[in-house]
Amino acid sequence: MMRDSEREVIRTLALFKEIADVEFERLIEGAFLQRFPMHVVLINEGEHPDFLHVVVEGTVELFARYEARETTIEILQPVTTFILAAIVRDDVYLKSARTLAPSRILMIPAANVREIFGRDPVFARAVVDELAIRYRRLVRTLKDQKLRTGVERLANWILEADRQQGGSGRIALPYEKRTLSALLGMTPENLSRTLASLSAHGISGNGREIVISDRGALVSCARPDPLIDGPE
Amino acid sequence: MMRDSEREVIRTLALFKEIADVEFERLIEGAFLQRFPMHVVLINEGEHPDFLHVVVEGTVELFARYEARETTIEILQPVTTFILAAIVRDDVYLKSARTLAPSRILMIPAANVREIFGRDPVFARAVVDELAIRYRRLVRTLKDQKLRTGVERLANWILEADRQQGGSGRIALPYEKRTLSALLGMTPENLSRTLASLSAHGISGNGREIVISDRGALVSCARPDPLIDGPE
DNA sequence: CGCAAAATTGAACCCAATCAATGTTCGTGG
DNA sequence: CCACGAACATTGATTGGGTTCAATTTTGCG
């Protein structure tokens, strides 16, 4: 099901790093690594969880629908697990998931997760850490959403993206702009305009690239806050 | 520090219900139950966590600031714990907390929580459950915020409040309207208008009371969704 | 009572959504 | 490899939901 190299990568995840080999082997027994094309729905909100998912390669978007509307909750890059909370609670998904790029997803049977969790305190500790991190990330997202304007959200997203990409000041958009707009809680049209308006605040760039030409100006526009934009 | 009756109430919390007496006693060793007047700040975002808090009586608001703005994240009624995630991560608070009513708060030393957590699998399991529940609640909040208009958020809040108060169709506002407006992500002025506009959709009431006069009309306006408004 | 804070109401304004049209990108198949 | 088409992105015009500012009324509490 998995090459050794892949197994090693997954092993380095905080969620699995500390557990004993025996437990790890038991955990991924019956797991399988599957390749998916772009724009494939992996999970539908409302369904029941059978597997813990791990993005091994590619990009996964967590999104949600209501009536005819749709919004992005989070975008996951390798290597990350998702829908852990639904498995722990053994309750329906609150979010859907789809690939934004050709991806490889590891699917670990939910029963395994619960079994190891119930028996291995080390793994239990890791699950708690993971959930707490996720919780705090979501708090940051909600603050970002409720306390900032569209311009501020975008400006801070750019700063964060730059940081993640090495801080060179040249950012390659990791996904489509329509996706980014949904993530930031605005329409594609509005993102377009907002981005254009930031050219007066230290931003230039075209197409799939954004360039920070005047970081000071951008920062004074974004006013980043460690309690919203922090790394974790 | 605590009366037996209070101890019993806390013991019934999901977080503590299953653990052994010995562990529970150890957990609340050095804990203290304190009375606070209305509008007292218990926690400031950015500070470091020393205690796990439990609302034993009264009401606590979790809120956050950014620049000159402020918003409500969650409002807690007895009996509920809060800031568990910060303790687990041993990292600064992302939210502040204040009392909205005269309250009694149980404060359990963070060190105790970590100690028992590291030793008692039953408690570890409870912590995971608690975090997963909180996480899912926050997902619902974020969906509510990003996918609904102000009218819809208010209408659904009314339905939920009615449910919690027994479904009689008469709802007593549990806190000030300015607080509700912050919780719903709008200004007090806007809440006023929105509430007035709902009188055309099955709502009447004055002052601190809201009456559902036509539930069908309200529901068709609110369009509740089990994946947003669910109980948990 | 009487004051201070909260709530309501009105008017003007602004940010963002919608509708509509055009330009651009990118993946696909010939 | 190029041409084509569909989806994405941009731009403009308009609408609308929500905020802000301001003034008044009501509530709650000492």
**pLDDT tens digits for A14-28?**
899 999 999 999 999
| Chain A residues near residue B120 by CB distance under 8 angstroms | none
CA distances from A19 to A32, A37, A104, A107, B197 (A): 20, 32, 23, 18, 57
**pLDDT tens digits for A30-40?**
998 999 999 99
- Indicate if B134 and B156 belong to the same structural domain: no
The first and second tokens of residue A198, run together, are 């930031």
**What's at B61, amino acid-wise?**
E
Q: Do B89 and A127 touch (CB under 8 A)?
A: no
Q: Do B141 and A136 touch (CB under 8 A)?
A: no
- Give nucleotides in strand D with any atom < 7 A to a protein C-beta: 8-13, 17-22, 26-28
Q: How many domains does chain A have?
A: 2
User: Is A60 strand, coil or helix?
Assistant: strand
Ramachandran bin of B14, using left for φ above 0, alpha for ψ from -120 to 50, beta for the remaining angles? alpha
Terminal Cα-to-Cα distance of chain A (whole angstroms): 31
Q: How many residues are there in chain A?
A: 232
Percent of chain A with pLDDT over 90: 85
- Give nucleotides in strand C with any atom < 7 A to a protein C-beta: 6-11, 15-20, 24-26
**pLDDT tens digits for A47-78?**
999 999 999 999 999 999 998 899 999 999 99
- Phi/psi at B4 (5° precision): -60, -40
The residues near B4 (Cβ < 8 Å, ≥ 6 apart) are none
Whether the beta carbon of B206 falls within 7 A of nucleic chain D: the reply is: yes
Residues lower than pLDDT 50 in chain B: none
- Indicate if B135 and B50 belong to the same structural domain: yes
Q: If we measure between CA atoms, which residue out of A184, A110, A131, A118 comes closest to residue A14?
A: A131
| Chain A residues near residue B219 by CB distance under 8 angstroms | none
pLDDT range class, residue A212, cuts 50, 70, 90: very high
pLDDT of residue A159: 96
- Please identify, among A143, A169, A200, the residue that sits at the C-terminal boundary of a domain: A143
From the C1' of D26, which residue's alpha carbon is nearest? B207
Q: Do B146 and A71 touch (CB under 8 A)?
A: yes
pLDDT range class, residue A1, cuts 50, 70, 90: low
- Indicate if A169 and A99 belong to the same structural domain: no
- Please identify, among A86, A114, A143, the residue that sits at the C-terminal boundary of a domain: A143
pLDDT of residue B5: 77
Print the domain residue range for A183.
Answer: 148-229
- Indicate if B23 and B73 belong to the same structural domain: yes
Closest chain B C-alpha to A132 CA, distance in angstroms: 5
